[in-house]
Structure 1
Amino acid sequence: MTSPTAEAHFVDDRLARRNAFLLAAAQALGGAITSITIATGGLTGFYLLGPDKSLATLPVTTMVLGTACGTVPAALLMRRIGRRPGFMIGSLVGAAGGIAACLAILYGSFLLFALATWFTGLSTAFVQQYRFAATDTASAVFRPKAISWVLAGGILAGVIGPQTVIWTRDLFSPIQFAGAFLAQAGLCLIAMTILAFVSIPKPKISDDRTKGRPLTQILSETRIAIAVLCGVVSYALMSLVMTAAPLAMVQCGLSADNAALGIQWHVIAMFAPSFFTGNLIARFGRETITAIGLALLATSGIVALTGLTLGHFWLALILLGLGWNFGFIGATAMLTDAHRPEERARVQAANDLCVFGFVAIASFSSGKILNVAGWGMVNWALFPVIALALAALSWLVLTGRHRTA
């Protein structure tokens, strides 16, 4: 006979499974809007701008800035009104951004298009909370699986976004890509409908006032500083190359559809290894996996520099995604191992601020570098930064300072 405790545990996880499934479906749709902007943002900017094309990737940068600006407000809003209404508002913002982007393209306004992608980024800040929300009603045993389900939705998002571009970019022909952003609005509205069925109780406000060490003291600790450095390098360099890649492919005579499919395989490579990256970290160590990720980013640059065929672009983008996965997740694991529990919120917030700040700079710089010096220079820029991160990581390990205190 099943005990009441076991039965309650089963009921709780049944709710958690339902929520995780719904959030994974919403991730597949809501997460696809990022792929749409990455695949077409630079190309659209190129078409909308005048003779000076150096700002072509600005719409991708404004999307990143929107995500950075929305991370804290999204968390605070959901803390006040709950997960479900917060997520639905986020989807509505994404739909508004898609409609605004479509109108901007139809009217030929580059500035309005960049503003519209900022709202897309703001919506993405809510999407990034899905994996955390999936654990809210889960038992300790089911939490890793709940996160994996949502990550699986991320893989589908990498397919849905580029395929949406391919099927809808000529909807308003001869004006390209306006249809893709109108479709973005549709994806967000479908995701909002799915999110209406999520059932997560509002969290209780914690009265814990424990602050731990001052933030400046925490960030000056060697292990934390190098973990943040590796996370910034992994994410920013990935963004530098990824943002420029679709525009570079079209400039090399490849089609916009080929560029969209390249981003598709890149995003799949970013998320697919997540199912076993944790096991690799547990077996080989955080620093080792982070170093492998940085090495894969460098390998991506080498492949990109050896040729301009479709195969070279796609292979470079796949390696870039794998490098991001190992490098960024490894660096994140290094960070979580280096601070005290009561310092978690402040350290993670400071880390995210550093990461997204440099990602915004990288995505903005990629268009400038591509326009002035070409695709080759975009990839040459990887090597000195990766060398710096690998040197710092090697020093950390050789001096034994990576060990938990």
Structure 2
Amino acid sequence: MNPFRRNIPLLAFAQAMMMSSTSLMVTSAALVGRNLANDPALATAPLAAAFVSTMLASVPAAWLMHRIGRKAGFVLASFIGATGATLAAWSIVQGAFWGFVGAAALIGTHNAFGNYYRFAAADSSPREQKGRAISWILAGGVLAAFIGPNLANLGHEWIGNAPFAGGFLAVMLLYLAAAAALSLLRLPPQAEDRPDDTEPVRPLREIARQPAYRVALICATLGYGVMSLVMTATPLAMSHHHHGLPDTAFVIQWHVLAMFAPSFFTGSLIDRWGIPRILVLGALADLACVTVNLNGTSVDHFWAALMLLGLSWNFLFIGATTLLTRCYRPSEKARVQASNDFAVFTTVTLSSLSAGALQHLFGWQLVNLGVVPMLLVALGAALWFARHERGNRIQTAPLTG
């Protein structure tokens, strides 16, 4: 079977399992933390542990997979996630708050590995199919919009006097299913192990001087950071404006769908229109989201704004990731991908952890106005790169695999 056709469904399935777990964490971690912690101020510590561990493990995950191979790294990470989910369920049953924090950190560590699924798909695909490969992997997240919240709802009372423990046991099974799927991957060998690979590895500073690298990093970091900030603040803003939990769940579920459903065609749009236009459209969709948020606080306003926010994230993240794959040689991919993801998920961690405080201190209007400068930077970078591409050939390193 064609490796492209074999690997993409397997990686997309693993992506769906990872995002389902993440969706469950976002839905339930703060509630579990509030129930287990002696101090209510620690309620969000488990979610913080998950975000921080993802950030800290991004570079070590790339290094480890460089040494043992991506397939082995992905399977190992699935077992780390399964261990974390099992520990989470046990901690809830036992009332062990810090055990749950540790479990969240293990799940976050798994996610650091899982964030490389998209690169594994791109690096095992022909150059002309890289954008579509990345899109199809992220499309696996569509399932997460349904699996994660339903696990939270259905698993809430599976184990008496231990809310959400059943959901985490179900997530453990999802991780094991992902491990089984990932064991069937047929990924190409690491470029450094190829006897015909004689290209020197350039310093990261030299790689980072490429316009394509800088634009990819700016758009991915700011696009993901703004999405994380606004998304995390939305439930608090909706509660402040007297919208109930069902309305909030409705808005978030549609937001998750908007994040991943466009992936079915984003790759084709990149092939047709080019990366710069997709990045520009993503930044404009983000600005439209802010405009909607500033003009009303009804459920319909939140719904429309979060749909635009999800679409924007999809275009910016897939466009930037596709652009990044054109900036490095096969022998350089580990360090370039690791540096990119460390920057992106450091920003995501900071924005997620600050969203609650910013919403509490400044309110919904200022939260939205505060992201406008970041969006203008992303839009400016995308427009500049579009002009640069028209005037000159994109400065990319030669690809040999």
1:370 is aligned, of 356, 359, 377, to 359
- Structure 2 CA distance for aligned equivalents of residues 176 and 32 of structure 1: 18
Alignment size in residue pairs: 391
- Structure 1 CA distance for aligned equivalents of residues 296 and 38 of structure 2: 29
Contact kept in structure 2, 1:223 and 1:401, CA below 8 Å: no
- Structure 1 CA distance for aligned equivalents of residues 201 and 177 of structure 2: 43
After superposition, where does 1:4-403 map in structure 2 within 5 Å?
Answer: 12-13=1-2, 17-45=5-33, 53=41, 57-78=44-65, 81=68, 85-106=72-93, 111-131=98-118, 133=120, 150-172=137-159, 176-196=163-183, 198=184, 200=186, 203=189, 205-206=193-194, 208=197, 210-338=199-327, 343-397=332-386, 403=393
Check 1:384–1:149 CA distance in 2 against 1; reply closer, same or farther (3 A cut): closer
- Which whole-Å deviations, capped at 9, do the CAs of 1:44-78 have from their partners, x for residues lacking one? 4455567764x655533432332333344444545
- Which whole-Å deviations, capped at 9, do the CAs of 1:176-211 have from their partners, x for residues lacking one? 444433332232233334445x15378362364633
Letter aligned with residue 180 of structure 1: G
Letter aligned with residue 394 of structure 2: T
Per the TM alignment, residue 39 of structure 1 is displaced from its structure 2 partner at its CA by: 2.6
Aligned to 1:404: 394
Per the TM alignment, residue 323 of structure 1 is displaced from its structure 2 partner at its CA by: 0.4
Letter aligned with residue 39 of structure 1: T
- Structure 2 CA distance for aligned equivalents of residues 295 and 387 of structure 1: 9
Contact kept in structure 2, 1:58 and 1:363, CA below 8 Å: no
Contact kept in structure 1, 2:259 and 2:313, CA below 8 Å: yes
Contact kept in structure 2, 1:163 and 1:260, CA below 8 Å: no
Check 1:379–1:331 CA distance in 2 against 1; reply closer, same or farther (3 A cut): same
- Structure 1 CA distance for aligned equivalents of residues 110 and 331 of structure 2: 29
Check 1:145–1:221 CA distance in 2 against 1; reply closer, same or farther (3 A cut): closer
- Structure 1 CA distance for aligned equivalents of residues 296 and 35 of structure 2: 26
Contact kept in structure 2, 1:298 and 1:382, CA below 8 Å: no
- Structure 2 CA distance for aligned equivalents of residues 222 and 18 of structure 1: 34
Q: Scaled by the length of structure 1, what TM-score is found?
A: 0.80
Aligned-pair Cα RMSD in Å: 3.6
Residue range with higher mean Cα deviation, 136-145 or 176-185: 136-145
Per the TM alignment, residue 290 of structure 1 is displaced from its structure 2 partner at its CA by: 0.9
- Structure 2 CA distance for aligned equivalents of residues 259 and 185 of structure 1: 27
Structure 1 alignment gaps of length 5 or more: 1-11
Percentage of identical aligned residues:
42
Structure 2 alignment gaps of length 5 or more: 396-401
- Structure 2 CA distance for aligned equivalents of residues 81 and 336 of structure 1: 21
Q: Scaled by the length of structure 2, what TM-score is found?
A: 0.80
Residue range with higher mean Cα deviation, 130-139 or 70-79: 130-139
Check 1:241–1:138 CA distance in 2 against 1; reply closer, same or farther (3 A cut): closer
